[in-house]
Each structure stands twice: as C-alpha cells, then as structure tokens.
Copies of this chain bind each other. A is one copy, B any other.
Amino acid sequence: MVETRKALKLLREQGYRITTPRRQVLGILAEAQRPLSPYEIQDMLKEKGEYLNHVTIYRVLELLCSLNLAHKVLLAGGFVICSLGESRGCHRFVVCRECGRLKEYASEALCAEETEMAEQLGFRAEQHFSEFSGVCATCQK
C-alpha cells in the first residue's frame, strides 16, 4: 500500500495542500482495504464522529485517482487506495464476485500482451488498468 504518509508527501510535491478532508479520506481508504463508495466513506467517518460533506469526498477522490493514489474499481463499485507504490502504469485487480474482496497486482507479462493486442486493434495502450472477477479463497468453501 502507498502509505498515507507517502501519499500526503506526493500531494505536496504536486503543489496540492494537505487538508483535513484529504487526510481523512486517505485514512479511511487505508484502513478499509476494500472498495468504498463516497457515501460509505462518509458513513465510516460519521462512526468516528467526524463529518465531511459528500461533495468534498467526491472532489478528494477525484484528485487521488488523478494521481493514482487511489483507484475507482469498477467491478466492485467503489474506491480503493493504491496498494502498489511503484508501478506507475499498471494497476490490476482481481475481484471476488461473491464478497467483493479484491487484490491489486501488476504484471509485465500482461502489459506486454495487452499492448500487442491494442496495436492489432489500432489502439495505443498507455495506462493499464484491468479488473477481472473470480472467487476468493474464503468464498470457495
């Protein structure tokens, strides 16, 4: 996981301010380690007695995603913190179709394969995001 601390550092470097809402959202995502919707994030903050307007949450998430500090995971319908510090252009997820649990990983091999495929289809691949679904260890029982 890109720890919260490093994420904040990166924000600074990019010229963004370190604000309470940004800390809070990053904190929640880091704890959760599963996809959360904007309103779920709001609810989890409420449980701690903290409050954020949903508009703010949307805007924070938009920023985090633009910097690849978080991702919108579409199969699971929510946002997760990026768990790969390094791999700039490659962010992949397996999502359990039962429980929604997910894992992020990166793969050179897949990138190569996809890039080739893309070319055949007339596309130039840039960022590799992929998601696919399966059944996690727990749910296989």
| Chain A interface residues (CB < 8 Å from chain B) | 74-75, 92, 94, 96-97, 103, 105, 107, 109-110, 113-114, 117-118, 121-137, 140
Pick the contact of A131: B109, B122, B124, B129 (CB < 8 A).
B129
Copy count, this protein chain: 2
Minimum Cβ distance to chain B for residue A97 (Å): 7
Closest 9 CB pairs of A and B: A74-B74, A122-B137, A123-B134, A125-B134, A130-B130, A103-B121, A94-B123, A124-B135, A118-B134
Determine if A124 and B140 form an interchain contact, defined as CB atoms under 8 angstroms apart: yes
Q: Is chain A's interface secondary structure helix, strand, loop, or mixed overall?
A: mixed
Pick the contact of A123: B75, B96, B127, B131 (CB < 8 A).
B96
Question: Bound complex: CA of A130 vs CA of B129, how far in Å?
Answer: 9
Pick the contact of A122: B107, B109, B123, B136 (CB < 8 A).
B136
Contact flag A123-B136 (CB < 8 Å), given A74-B74, A129-B75, A131-B130: yes
- 23 residue pairs bridging A and B, Cβ less than 8 Å apart: A74-B131, A94-B114, A94-B117, A94-B123, A96-B123, A97-B127, A103-B121, A103-B122, A105-B121, A107-B113, A109-B113, A110-B114, A110-B117, A113-B113, A114-B132, A122-B136, A123-B134, A123-B135, A123-B136, A124-B135, A126-B134, A130-B132, A131-B131
